[in-house]
Amino acid sequence: MNKILVFAESKNNEFKSPAFEVVSAGIFLAEKLNFEFSVITVSNAGEDQLKSLGKFGAKEIFSINLEELNSLSGKPGIKYSHSAIASVISNFAKDNGYGIIIISGTAFGKEIAPCVSVKTGYSIVTDIVDLSGIESKMVKRPSYAGKCYTQVKINTDNYVLTIRPNVFKASENPSEPSINKFEAGKLNISGIDFKSCVSEVVVSSGKLDVAEADVIVSGGRGLRGPEHFHLVEELAAALGAATGASRAVVDAGWRPHGEQVGQTGKTVSPSLYVACGISGAIQHLAGMSSSKYIVAINKDKDAPIFQVADYGIVGDVFEILPALTLEINKLKS
């Protein structure tokens, strides 16, 4: 009999969709495999916040207090340590017989999961988009930024999985969770587990990130210069969307790299992706073609972007973007 441990990530002591999605994935796995599952958290979240995980079906929650954990570091003023949190998850899993660990493939999750894999000696598969073959230890993940999908067979009894954010929808499944406070001191953690420590988290202007957004409006060379990107930003604002960019405009220095969508940027799968003045180089298509709906606006009717678009207008972005923003704002008011 194996057990599943789900790591629910918190941000500023709140649980958000990545946490709810892994809980849903945990339930899915637990039912498929007929295994027990528990949730582990490392945060300063209060009881109410922890209970929010119950809304998505968490029944048994082990909560490790972050401040208490940090106090074991012997270093003052640290926010958190990826390596120490990885030790917490690994030691808790090993001590309590959890052979399957699920972590969200966020920036945070990607930093801790490989560490958990080595510490536990469990194998690892990252960025999973389909768990339906888990009874035969088969999982599906994209490769080449989404140009293809691979079925991966796991050959070990125990394993760590990271799941791609925004793919497994968090489904409500209310339950009254039992919240068990677990002392970090009982997990054999010491100063050497704090190999690297985050001293500061800097938020860039509160903008929505393409990796987290459900709607993305991206601009490319067709905008002709960074001074015209306000057209993209205005449409994004009207749609409540994140702003993205093609590699060409990032390399030209028009937009920051954090906005780049594609093979050397971010791979995204929002509900709606609006490509403005983007021709659709193969690297860009790889990074966004798994979006649910794609809208393309481009003056070249033969641009490859139209081959993946669900809807499109052949025309001038300088005319169409303001008209589209106006039309959407009208609708919303």
115 to 144, contacts with other proteins by CB under 8 A? 115, 117-119, 123-127, 138, 142-144
Binding segment toward other proteins, per CB under 8 A, in 19-27, 61-69, 224-232, 265-273 = 265-273
Binding segment toward other proteins, per CB under 8 A, in 41-49, 65-73, 166-174, 195-203 = 195-203
Residue 38 vs 90, nearer CB to other proteins: 90
Binding segment toward other proteins, per CB under 8 A, in 26-34, 56-64, 174-182, 300-308 = 300-308
Q: Is 209 in the site for other proteins (CB under 8 A)?
A: yes
Query: Binders of other proteins among 21-60, rule CB under 8 A?
Result: none
Q: Is 171 in the site for other proteins (CB under 8 A)?
A: no
Q: What is the DSSP letter of 207?
A: P
Helix (H) or strand (E) holding 54: none
325: left (phi over 0), alpha (psi -120 to 50) or beta: alpha
Q: How many residues does the chain have?
A: 333
Q: Is 320 in the site for other proteins (CB under 8 A)?
A: yes
Query: Binders of other proteins among 81-100, rule CB under 8 A?
Result: 83
Smallest CA-to-CA distance from 295 within 282, 283, 281, 277 is with: 277
User: Could you tell me the smallest distance in angstroms from the CB atom of residue 217 to other proteins?
Assistant: 12
Residue 61 vs 129, nearer CB to other proteins: 129
Q: Is 181 in the site for other proteins (CB under 8 A)?
A: no
- The whole-angstrom separation of Cα 253 and Cα 216 is 20
Half-sphere exposure of 227 (CA within 13 A, CB side): 0
CB 128 within 8 A of CB 161: yes
Task: Determine which residue in the list 57, 146, 219, 244 makes contact with other proteins, applying CB under 8 A.
Answer: 146
As given in the structure block, the two tokens for residue 182 are: 């677990």
- Angle at which helix 230-239 crosses helix 317-332, to 10 degrees, equals 20
Helix (H, G, I), strand (E, B) or coil at 83: helix
User: Could you tell me the smallest distance in angstroms from the CB atom of residue 47 to other proteins?
Assistant: 26
Q: Is 233 in the site for other proteins (CB under 8 A)?
A: no
First to last CA, the chain: 56
Residue 59 vs 266, nearer CB to other proteins: 266
- The whole-angstrom separation of Cα 286 and Cα 272 is 16
Residue 31 vs 316, nearer CB to other proteins: 316
- Taking CA atoms, 115 is separated from 90, 209, 247, 333, in Å, by 9, 25, 31, 49
- The whole-angstrom separation of Cα 103 and Cα 41 is 11
- The whole-angstrom separation of Cα 307 and Cα 310 is 8
Task: Determine which residue in the list 51, 94, 147, 221 makes contact with other proteins, applying CB under 8 A.
Answer: 147
Binding segment toward other proteins, per CB under 8 A, in 36-44, 54-62, 183-191, 290-298 = 290-298
Task: Determine which residue in the list 267, 275, 276, 288 makes contact with other proteins, applying CB under 8 A.
Answer: 267
CB 317 within 8 A of CB 295: no
Task: Determine which residue in the list 1, 47, 76, 155 makes contact with other proteins, applying CB under 8 A.
Answer: 155
Task: Determine which residue in the list 163, 189, 236, 272 makes contact with other proteins, applying CB under 8 A.
Answer: 272
Residue 34 vs 204, nearer CB to other proteins: 204
